Amino acid sequence: MAKRATPELKAAIRRYHRDGWSYYALAKIVPYSEQAISKWCDDGLRNRQKSNSNKWIGEHKEQHRASAKRWAESSKQHIAEYGAAYREAYSDRIKSQQREYHLKHREKRNAASAAYRKANKEKMRQLDHDWVRNNPNKNAAKTAKIRAGNACPPWITEEQKQEMLDFYTEAHLRSVETGERYEVDHIHPLKSRKVDACGLHVPWNLQILLAEDNRKKSDSYET
């Protein structure tokens, strides 16, 4: 045991060795006990504790489940605050893990989603209606992406997707503030009979125009 370990930590580790305490019990005395044990104890201690904990849980499933339920009921605020802080700190990691999981289980998830929507048609129709009403900018961006089809390149980054959403958000805000309808236009049209080179559905090919100006521009190349 290192000389700089606090008296409380030394006492806790001695009781760990003597009585076989778990990390959970140790944490009541020493904050961040898992890191403390890994730092001050032998390398195999953590693995032995994990093995012992898994063995105990396997032999006392009902007791462990009841204990976990009681703790969750009495710690709802702590769980909510911890979850919110974790999601904010590791949002990129969470999104990456969700994408990987979805790609790995795409067929199963899509089938389950389709089955649920089929069994709850009225509920899902109302949810879809509410989402469109409450998120007109996101709905416009989603619709534009679908209409763009192959003109929406697969190499678009998350930051660029956000930039594109910002265009639709700004167009909606201008429409609300002025009472005139604004739309997001493609500077280089995605499909055109008037120009040879068509554009892509990317942020640097977007601009905001009044709806009447967008109709006049049509599929020509004008800014």
CB 221 within 8 A of CB 187: yes
Please name the amino acid found at residue 216: K
Tell me what pLDDT residue 5 has. 59
- Please compute Rg for the chain using Cα positions: 28
The domain locations on the chain are 7-74, 92-127, 135-217
Tell me what pLDDT residue 10 has. 67
CA atoms within 13 A on the CB side of 154: 0
Which residue is it, tokens 């763009």? 148
Scanning 5-75, the segments in alpha helix (DSSP H) are: 7-19, 23-27, 33-40, 45-59, 61-74
Angle (CA) 85 91 204, round 5°: 135
Tell me what pLDDT residue 12 has. 65
Tell me what pLDDT residue 190 has. 82
Give, in order, the Cα–Cα distances in Å from 47 to each of 2, 43, 107, 184: 20, 8, 37, 57
Tell me what pLDDT residue 16 has. 62
Of the candidates 176, 151, 170, 165, the residue with the CA atom closest to the CA atom of residue 209: 170
**Tens-level pLDDT at each residue, the chain (223 residues):** 444 556 766 676 666 666 655 555 555 555 555 555 555 555 566 677 678 778 888 898 998 898 888 888 888 898 898 889 889 988 889 989 998 999 999 999 999 999 999 999 999 999 888 888 888 888 888 888 888 888 888 898 989 989 999 999 999 998 888 989 999 998 888 876 665 667 888 999 999 999 898 888 776 765 5
What are phi and psi for residue 186, nearest 5 degrees? -90, 120
Tell me what pLDDT residue 2 has. 42
Using CA atoms, how far apart are residues 155 and 159, in angstroms rounded to an integer? 11
